[in-house]
Amino acid sequence: MERTDYRKLYWKIITTTLTFSLVPLFALGATIYYQFRVSYTAKIMESLRTLTENRRNAIDLFFEERVSQLYTLAYTQSLDQLRDEKYLDQVFTLMQSRSKSFVDIGIIDRDGTHVTYVGPYNLAGVNYKNESWFHEVMLRGVYISDVFMGFRKYPHFIIAVLRREGDRSWILRATIDTEIFDAMVKAAQVGKRGDAYVVNREGILQTAPRFAGHLLGKIESPHTSQFSGIHVEEMQMNGETALFSTTWLKNKDWMLVIKEDPSQELTPLFEARYMMIGIIGLGVLVIVLGTVFVSRATVGQLIQSDREKAMLDASLVQSGKMAALGKLAAGIAHEVNNPLAVIKEKVGWMMDLLSEEDISQSENFKEFDDAVHKIDQHVERAKKVTHRLLGFARRMEPIKDKVDVNKLVDETIDFLENEAHYRNIVIQPEYHADLPTTLSDSSQLQQVVLNILNNAIDAIGKNGQIDVKTDYSVKDEQIVITISDNGPGIPNDQLDRIFDPFFTTKEVGMGTGLGLSISYTIVDKLGGRILVSSEVGKGTTFTIYLPVIRQEKA
Amino acid sequence: MEGFRVLVVDDELDFLETIVKRLQRRKVDVIGVESGKAALELLEQQQFDVVILDVRMPGMDGLDTLKEMKRKAPLMEVIMLTGHASVESGMQGMQLGAFDYVMKPASINDLLEKIKQAYERKRLHEKKVRDVP
């Protein structure tokens, strides 16, 4: 596989894994958050609704109490009694002693004239005939006004009750201190940004809100039409989003508005959101890291195994090549051997005949004799080649002996010492001290080492060094023999072919080109591997790996 | 060199003629035939002590011929001659009772040496057979 293919695979694994793990994570996170938000919002709305309901009930009760107080007074006392200012003052003082909400009280006759008045202002004798509330109370019997400034220049509202007493009818009218009412509404102002106020049908504020405006100011009202029950909703008003809870009062066409700042009320929700984002972020980080790690490991493993497979393939190709070439070589050798045998016999016969005395007297005898011996010599040479070829093709099972590789290498070096010395080449051995013995074929192995050393000496020519090192890899249970020369090195294009039969860089007649291929075959049969690395100008290193076999397999 | 008879079997006529001539020159009583079949026919009429037998021949090959010969004359020694120096066919020949095998092209002296050794063994075997009452 190409490098880019590995990268592609790497990214493919990463994207797939991330998709399959992040999508559920996000989905889960979003669902949980959504559910939490829904239930939390519901809870907040519910509590807001309860608050509104309580407030409304309290206000309603307040109105009802005031109205029924006035009713009681109007219907238990006669006009004549109440007309007496002293008596009314007595009653009013009694009423105020229980509740400070009444500011003043007065009796108005059917013509609209304030007959009697008890309170801080001088309102006796004022005529209300043209006031709209006067007609309202005459019509309906009871009336609660909006807040107004009136004659007093002070925000207040009135409650008026009509009493029909025989053919007379009169009105008991009282002023309610808005402060007490205000305080009741303001009690619903919760939080730092919460607000509570009362507006009338026209959107005029009946109590002073905290933020939205001032008393008797106009305000944008969430609802203008009357409805029953309580509305809780999130609305955008005056440029900010807030939770609004609205309800109409029972006794008066006023609407109670309680506003809550969602950002404050929903703080736990936002906290939950941040926590969730944090957890998901952490999860994403862990997943991404894990994915990258696993993908990298997987691709690394794949590259490793591909590389091993490629090496195995290469060695299988080499083995296959060897086998095919071996067969070919054997076939050729056999075909060549037969004519060689005939030539050898003919030459032999000629030599037999030349040895007869009478021929030896002939003048060209020496020439004949020379020629015939040369032919015999070269048949021998050809025979060596064919026999080596056959030896290469031979599928002989190696003998298994206990082999001390150090000793074997040492003996082989001894064997070549003279030749090396003569060419001023130093062979520098370095033996691993605790090299285990292995079951192997010592003579074949020696041939391999000899071949490689011979090649090294030939490659150097004169003046050089060959390092021979034995080592033991405990992990792989392998003996490693490294033979490095500082010769001219092998160019890359030849490096692939050096184990091929008949491949030689030596002069014609100097090498058969079989040494390394035989070595390769031998090491292969012994269960090992032989590798070569070379750099032109620096030298060549052959590495032989031999398995450590401690016992003959049964 | 006297007293024993050698038969050379090889389909290569040039080789056969020459080796026969050379062995005769070395005072060996030798006859050459060019096929396994001819050799077996000759064995019907004559006796030989040592046979030099080429492994690869057209028609009846060396190993088949060897089997037949050993059936007819068990004590006669056979030296396999092979250009196909595979150990398998050599070993197979040995298992079938051949004395040894020689790779082509062989030097005449090596061959002569093998012939002598084979004859020695044959005599030893014959002696043993005679000694058995």
Measured CA to CA, the distance from residue A99 to residue A407 in angstroms comes to 123
Q: How confident is the model at residue B38 (pLDDT cuts 50, 70, 90)?
A: very high
Nearest to A110 by CA among A82, A91, A137: A137
Domain boundaries, chain B: 5-131
CB contact under 8 A, A390 and B12: no
- Contact at CB, B108 and A348, closer than 8 angstroms: yes
Q: What is the pLDDT of residue A111?
A: 85
Q: Is the Cβ–Cβ distance between A209 and A186 less than 8 Å?
A: no
The label of the residue with tokens 């040479």 reads A381
**pTM confidence score:** 0.46
Strand residues in A20-82 grouped as ranges (E): none
Looking at residues B38-48, what average pLDDT do you find?
91
Closest chain A C-alpha to B111 CA, distance in angstroms: 12
Judged by a CB distance cut-off of 8 A, whether residue A356 touches chain B is: no
For the residues of A342-389, what is the DSSP string, one character each?
HHHHHHHHHHHHHTSHHHHTSTTHHHHHHHHHHHHHHHHHHHHHHHHH
Question: How far is the alpha carbon of A383 from chain B, nearest alpha carbon, in Å?
Answer: 7
Residue pLDDT, tens place only, A430-465: 998 888 888 888 777 888 888 899 889 888 888 899
In chain A, what are the domains? Answer: 270-393 (1.10.287.130), 401-547 (3.30.565.10)
Measure CB to CB from residue B86 to each of A346, A352, A394 and give the nearest one: A394
Model pLDDT, residue A192? 77
Superfamily name and number for B5-131: Response regulator (3.40.50.2300)
Q: How much is the ipTM here?
A: 0.79
Higher pLDDT, A72 or A3: A72
DSSP string, A307-326: HHHHHHHHHHHHHHHHHHHH
Closest CA–CA distance from residue B131 to any residue of chain A (Å): 40
- Residue A395, pLDDT score: 46
pLDDT of residue A375: 92
Q: Which of B18, B28, B103, B110 to mutate to test the interface with A (most CBs of A within 10 A)?
A: B18
What are the tens digits of pLDDT across the range A296-344? 898 899 889 888 888 777 777 766 666 677 677 777 877 888 888 899 9
Which residue type occupies B111? Answer: L
pLDDT of A512 reads: 64
Pick from A64-78, A122-136, A341-355, A496-510: least confident? A496-510
CB contact under 8 A, B84 and A330: yes
